Amino acid sequence: MFRPRIIPCLLLKDLGLVKTIQFKNPRYIGDPMNAVKIFNDFEADELVFLDIEASKKNRMIDINFVKKVSEEAFMPFAVGGGISNIEQIRNIMNSGAEKVIINTFAMENPLLVKEASEVFGSQAIIVSIDAKKEKDKYFVFTHGGTKKTRLDPADFAKKMECAGAGEILITSIDNDGLMNGYDINLIRLISNAVKIPVIANGGAGDLDDLNSAIVKGGASAGAAGSIFVYSGKNRGILINYPDKDEIFRKFLIS
């Protein structure tokens, strides 16, 4: 029996926990370390932390923050944000993260993914792809969704798989934060293009959306932000995670 991973994807701005809508207007949610403690209690499968300003400001995610998460988190976690070289990856891994997430610099320097997978193993390297649809065609965006490339996300995913990436994290910029469901077509395009695990992200409003990303989109795991930090239609702040029985009823696949 197979149960897909359910992963809170947590965004950082100035070391505070925030949530965006279509990659814009970050709303302060609270202390990320408090969220880690709560997700410990809920026994979350994994955590993802993304510094949304790192690439734009030409820096990497704060290494002291990574160390603090490592000291507190009971579950595996991955971090991303401005990671551009092997030494940074080594420092992050030595600070306790199980995986690193590379976005902008995977596009700018694909050899980084190749070298990183050779040094640390493919299982430790996630390539994050942020995609936006324009005139019925998807394009890859970098630098926190602010810079458009001419790259097709499915083609880029194939290239990253060949380079040695162990997983692809695909995020729909259009659906981010809206809680109206994933872009299933986008997820399916990526899942059909590669053989490595695909993590769907961007748009989940409930567990049914997560299930659709896996059953209909072919994703191996579902990541989300809003449903794990908000409660109700008015989006009151509440760190939460489904209980184990609910997850097994919804997601256990034979």
Please give the model's pTM, rounded to 2 decimal places. 0.96
Per-residue model confidence (pLDDT) at position 92:
98
Per-residue model confidence (pLDDT) at position 2:
66
Per-residue model confidence (pLDDT) at position 60:
96
- 157, 168 contact by CB (below 8 A): yes
In this structure, the dihedral spanned by the alpha carbons of residues 62, 124, 187 and 206, taken in order and rounded to 10 degrees, is -60
- The set of catalytic residues is 130
Per-residue model confidence (pLDDT) at position 254:
46
Q: What are the pLDDT digits (tens) for 139-197?
A: 999 999 999 999 999 999 999 999 999 999 999 999 999 999 999 999 999 999 999 99
Per-residue model confidence (pLDDT) at position 1:
54
Q: Residue 1, exposed/middle/buried by CB under 10 A (0-12, 13-18, 19+)?
A: exposed
Structure tokens at 96: 């306790």
3-state SS, 114-128, equals: HHHHHHHCHHHEEEE
Structure tokens at 105: 């610099």
Q: What are the pLDDT digits (tens) for 227-249?
A: 999 987 678 999 999 887 777 77
Q: What is the mean pLDDT of the chain?
A: 94
Residues 10, 152: Cα–Cα separation, whole Å: 26
Mean pLDDT value of segment 110-117? 97
Check whether 113 has a pLDDT greater than 50.
Answer: yes
Q: Residue 233, exposed/middle/buried by CB under 10 A (0-12, 13-18, 19+)?
A: exposed
Q: Residue 158, exposed/middle/buried by CB under 10 A (0-12, 13-18, 19+)?
A: middle
Per-residue model confidence (pLDDT) at position 13:
96
In this structure, the dihedral spanned by the alpha carbons of residues 176, 168, 214 and 211, taken in order and rounded to 10 degrees, is -40
Mean pLDDT value of segment 24-52? 96
Residues 170, 191: Cα–Cα separation, whole Å: 10
Mean pLDDT value of segment 80-87? 97
Check whether 253 has a pLDDT greater than 60.
Answer: no
Which domains occur in the chain, in start order?
5-251 (3.20.20.70)
Residues 160, 243: Cα–Cα separation, whole Å: 34
Structure tokens at 158: 């194939």
Residues 139, 65: Cα–Cα separation, whole Å: 32
* Percent above pLDDT 70 for the chain: 97
Per-residue model confidence (pLDDT) at position 247:
76
- 42-80: b (≥16 Cβ within 10 Å) or e: bebbbbbbbbbbbbbeeebbbeebbbbbbebbebebbbb
- 110, 82 contact by CB (below 8 A): no
